[in-house]
């Protein structure tokens, strides 16, 4: 019995390390889940003269997707968002984060525009209110303006299918 | 010879250290004196983690987000917020993770007291082991054990000859 003690200790340490290997240290749990989405009002990307306010989406279940033309990972998730917009399952609002207006517009022209509109957060202040630290980030906000889900990083087809869309259906059904 | 070498190494080390220290002190002198505001910003920034480069404080980091957050701290101070209010502001947005000194609560008990608990556990195991060993050596040998020991010693005696 005693002979196996070191082996047992080794197994425990190995198990901890193995779990650690598969955790993503970038995925920090957001304190904003189930809290009201911070209200904001920003100029729109396409029409600088017009503003978009988060309250405009009250009564709708919607996605807020933080993106930037300089963000390489955004390109990876972009086709998924374009496809989602085409399906019409949930409206997507973009938050163009710390970007040059010209670059953002060109990026959308090049890769397609899945957004109902994009709010233009040039100095990243709204990003800070939403605790954004790694673009892309995506928030699912319910009809009462409560953040229900946050994805840090690329929205993959799997995450869309297994997490976001079921939650959208649930939120649309219950409220 | 060994001792001499050690002395030389220690002397060299202390010489290098004092030189580095003097250089550092000199560099600090050369900097313009920081205002009280800057000092407060830096003090707060040193307690906050940069989420982009997770093992740096936002005081140390030059990541764009860290710079933005330092500007936010400066602004909040200008608005008359207290240090605690500013820390709260950051925690509301980024969670406890943003704090370099995590708060003591149920989820962090292991973090705070785990190492001490492990140390105590280790000491208990060690002392019990030592106590058992002392008891074992203190017990006098029985006659049978004496004979066996002599037999063994006798054997090795012959073998060594």
Task: Tell me the CATH number at A144.
Answer: 3.40.30.10
* A161 located within any domain: yes
DSSP state, residue B49: B
The residues of B whose Cβ lies within 8 A of any Cβ of A are 51-52, 54, 64-65, 68-69, 72, 91-97
* Cβ A36 vs Cβ A145: under 8 Å: yes
Instruction: Tell me if A124 and B64 make a contact (CB, 8 A cut-off).
Output: yes
Q: What is the pLDDT of residue A104?
A: 94
* Cβ A104 vs Cβ A96: under 8 Å: yes
Residues of B in contact with A125 (CB under 8 A): 68
* B148 located within any domain: yes
Q: Are residues B127 and B74 in the same domain?
A: no
Q: Which residues contact B93 (CB under 8 A, 6 or more apart)?
A: A31, A32, A128, A129, A130, A131
Q: What is the pLDDT of residue B33?
A: 62
Q: Are residues B74 and B95 in the same domain?
A: yes
Instruction: Tell me if A133 and B94 make a contact (CB, 8 A cut-off).
Output: yes
Instruction: Tell me if B69 and A129 make a contact (CB, 8 A cut-off).
Output: no
Structural domain span for residue A65 = 31-174
Domain count, chain B: 3
Coil, helix or strand at residue B105: coil
Instruction: Tell me if A31 and B68 make a contact (CB, 8 A cut-off).
Output: no
Q: Which residues pair with B48 in a beta bridge?
A: B99
Instruction: Tell me if A131 and B93 make a contact (CB, 8 A cut-off).
Output: yes
Tell me, rounded to whole angstroms, the distance of Cα A50 from its chain centroid: 24
- Tell me the backbone φ, ψ of residue A65, rounded to 5 degrees: -110, 120
Give the mutation candidate from A24, A29, A133, A139 for the B interface (greatest B CB count, under 10 A): A133
* Cβ A118 vs Cβ A93: under 8 Å: yes
Domain count, chain A: 1
Residues of A in contact with B97 (CB under 8 A): 28-29
Q: Which residue from A96, A102, A136, A98 is spatially nearest to A115, judged by alpha carbons?
A: A96
Q: Are residues B74 and B26 in the same domain?
A: no
Give the mutation candidate from B76, B90, B93 for the A interface (greatest A CB count, under 10 A): B93
Q: Are residues B10 and B48 in the same domain?
A: no
Where b means 16+ CB within 10 Å and e means fewer, A66-102 reads bbbbebeebeebbebbeebbeeebbbbbbbbbbbeee
Q: How far is A114 from chain B (nearest CA, A)?
A: 26
Give the mutation candidate from A28, A32, A123, A134 for the B interface (greatest B CB count, under 10 A): A28
* Cβ B74 vs Cβ B45: under 8 Å: no
* B22 located within any domain: yes
Structural domain span for residue B80 = 35-103
* A131 located within any domain: yes
Q: What is the pLDDT of residue B9?
A: 57
Q: Are residues B118 and B91 in the same domain?
A: no
How many pairs of residues across A and B have Cβ atoms under 8 Å apart?
37
Q: What is the pLDDT of residue B160?
A: 47
Give per-residue pLDDT as tens, A105-136.
999 999 999 999 999 999 899 999 999 988 89
Q: Are residues B17 and B73 in the same domain?
A: no
* B58 located within any domain: yes
Residues of A in contact with B92 (CB under 8 A): 31
Q: How far is A4 from chain B (nearest CA, A)?
A: 17
Mean pLDDT, consecutive 10-residue stretches, chain B (161 aa), reads 58 56 49 74 89 84 88 90 91 88 86 94 95 80 86 68 45
Q: Are residues B75 and B118 in the same domain?
A: no
Is the ipTM, as predicted for this complex, more than 0.90? no
Q: Structure tokens of A99? A: 């970007």
* A105 located within any domain: yes
Q: Where are the alpha helices (DSSP H) in chain B?
A: 2-30, 36-45, 64-78, 83-94, 109-138, 143-160
Q: What is the pLDDT of residue A175?
A: 45
Q: Structure tokens of B77? A: 């101070």
Q: Are residues B22 and B39 in the same domain?
A: no
Note the pTM of the prediction, 2 decimals.
Answer: 0.71
* B157 located within any domain: no
Question: What CATH number is associated with residue B61?
Answer: 1.10.8.640
Q: Are residues B99 and B121 in the same domain?
A: no
Q: Are residues B41 and B91 in the same domain?
A: yes
- Residue ranges of chain A with per-residue pLDDT less than 50: 175
* A67 located within any domain: yes
């Amino acid at each position: 019995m005693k002979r196996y003690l070191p082996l047992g200790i080794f197994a425990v340490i190995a198990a901890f390390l193995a779990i650690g290997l598969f955790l993503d240290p970038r995925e920090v749990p957001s304190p904003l889940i189930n809290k009201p989405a911070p209200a904001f009002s920003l100029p729109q990307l396409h029409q600088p003269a017009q503003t978009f306010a988060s309250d405009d989406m009250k009564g709708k279940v919607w996605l807020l997707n933080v993106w930037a033309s300089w963000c390489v990972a955004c390109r990876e998730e972009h086709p998924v968002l374009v496809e989602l917009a085409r399906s019409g399952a949930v409206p997507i609002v973009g938050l163009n984060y710390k970007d040059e207006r010209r670059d953002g517009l060109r990026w959308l022209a090049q890769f397609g525009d899945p957004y109902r509109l994009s709010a233009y957060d040039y100095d990243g202040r709204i990003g800070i209110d939403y605790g954004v630290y790694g673009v892309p980030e995506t928030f699912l906000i319910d009809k009462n303006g409560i953040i229900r889900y946050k994805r840090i990083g690329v929205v993959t087809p799997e995450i869309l299918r297994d997490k976001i869309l079921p939650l959208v259906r649930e939120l649309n059904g219950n409220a | 010879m060994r001792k001499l070498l050690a002395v030389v190494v220690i002397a060299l080390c202390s010489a290098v250290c004092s030189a580095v220290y003097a250089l550092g002190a000199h560099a600090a002198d050369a900097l313009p004196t920081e205002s009280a505001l800057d000092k407060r910003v830096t003090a707060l920034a040193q307690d906050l983690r940069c989420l982009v480069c997770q093992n740096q404080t936002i005081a140390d980091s030059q990541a764009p987000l860290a710079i933005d957050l330092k500007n936010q701290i400066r602004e909040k101070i200008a608005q008359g917020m207290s240090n605690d209010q500013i820390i709260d502001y950051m925690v509301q947005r980024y969670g406890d993770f943003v704090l370099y000194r995590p708060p003591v609560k149920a989820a962090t008990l292991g973090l705070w007291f785990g190492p001490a608990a492990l140390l105590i556990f280790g000491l208990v195991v060690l002392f019990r082991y030592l106590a058992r060993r002392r008891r074992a050596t203190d017990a006098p040998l029985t006659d049978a054990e004496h004979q066996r020991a002599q037999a063994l010693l006798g054997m090795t005696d012959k073998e060594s000859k």
